[in-house]
Amino acid sequence: MGISLLEVAGFIGGTISGNDDIEIKSLARIEEAQPGDLTFLYMPSYEKYLATTKASAVLVKPGFDKTRSDIAYIEVTDPNKAFSKILIRYFSPEFKLTGIDPSSFIHPDAVIGRNVALGKNVVISAGCRIGDNTKIYHNTVLLENVEIGSQSLLFQNVSIREGCKIGSRVIIHPGTVVGSDGFGFFTDEKGVYQKIPQIGNVIIEDDVELGSNVSVDRAALGSTIIKRGVKIDNLVQIAHNVIVGEDTVISSQSGISGSTKVGSHCILAGQVGLVGHIQLADNTIILAQSGVSKSITKPGQYFGSPAKEVKTALKLEAHVRNLPGYVEKIKELENKIKELTEAISKLKSEE
């Protein structure tokens, strides 16, 4: 059973060109699409696939050159966003875990909301509170006094340690740990490392998504806070007492050191590292493989290690790439100076 192209176009506010009597059965990338699929074009580098795609319909920008008459087109201002909206509305996966598996353990002091689903070997410890319509998949462990809001989704092998608070509509993917000890030690008079107890917690606000194998450390004192709407990719480390502002996105293999404050609407691309005890202004973008060594107070794009404003960083990078040529040029200039100096000396000696 599919969705009519007319319904799809009406939902995203698009305009159809070509046959509108089409049923959309699935979504696909343009190079992989088959009959019955809807695809999209938003980057020029993918236009080469239009000649061979088997898709029944394609989302394009207004005024796009429609070279094929056997494909229906939906013109929309932003095909990429429109495609995502269609995916969310009509093709989102359903997570069908229901009921409470008999192998799960629920402490008598725990409070479980309505329509909560627990998979195999889930452990709910004393003092935990779980909101309505939350699904927790197998082998997940919640230690004492964990609070989880409504409509959240915890996948397999998630661990949430004592005292942590998880908001509503939060998604946590497999292997993630919330509330592990912060990395706190000091050396005694013999130079031996002694552990500093980490007695704070982690607060994850509403509508946050944590990828797989993310570590969010509990605070030494107070709270590590992931604010509303933050999206964190796989393999990210958030250290103790970090605060991540609303609607910030953090990509894979990034790490944030202790007590750093990241503003709202920031983007940390892949393999970004932030030192501790600094601040990032709202609307800051740190490009991939950059290292931030001091606070950034001016919004904008930054790149490099240490990170600099992107225009400056790219100029420096260009100069570094050209260093071999600079060396040759300098040698040539040195030789010319030497020749001129010798010529001047010779002229003076002949006078």
Q: Which of 5, 52, 15, 13 is nearest to 33 (CA)?
A: 52
* pLDDT per position as a tens digit, 279-306: 999 999 999 999 999 999 999 999 999 9
Residues 209 and 345 in one domain: no
Residue 62 covered by a domain: yes
Strand partners, 300: 284
CA–CA distance, 303 with 315 (Å, rounded to integer):
11
Catalytic site positions: 240
Token code pair at residue 138: 């197998």
* pLDDT per position as a tens digit, 124-175: 999 999 999 999 999 999 999 999 999 999 999 999 999 999 999 999 999 9
Strand partners, 55: none
pTM over 0.85: yes
* pLDDT per position as a tens digit, 208-219: 999 999 999 999
Residue 99 covered by a domain: no
CATH number of the structural domain spanning residue 273:
2.160.10.10
Task: Compute the average pLDDT of residues 237-266.
Answer: 98
* pLDDT per position as a tens digit, 304-330: 999 999 999 999 989 999 999 999 999
Domain final position from 27, 58, 90:
90
Which ranges of the chain would DSSP assign to H, the alpha helix?
Answer: 5-12, 79-90, 310-321, 323-350
How many structural domains are present in the chain? 3
Work out the mean pLDDT of the chain and round it to a whole number: 95
Range of the domain at 77: 3-90
Residues 84 and 123 in one domain: no
Residues 306 and 194 in one domain: yes
Neighbours of 34 (CB within 10 A): 13
* pLDDT recorded at residue 347: 84
Strands 72-75 and 15-17: antiparallel
Please say if the pLDDT value at position 1 is more than 70.
no
Residues 192 and 328 in one domain: no
Residues 303 and 326 in one domain: no
CATH number of the structural domain spanning residue 29:
3.40.1390.10
Token code pair at residue 212: 């797989």
Residues 297 and 331 in one domain: no
> 231 CB contacts (<8 Å, ≥6 apart)?
208, 209, 248, 249, 250
CA–CA distance, 64 with 277 (Å, rounded to integer):
49
Residues 244 and 294 in one domain: yes
Residue 219 covered by a domain: yes
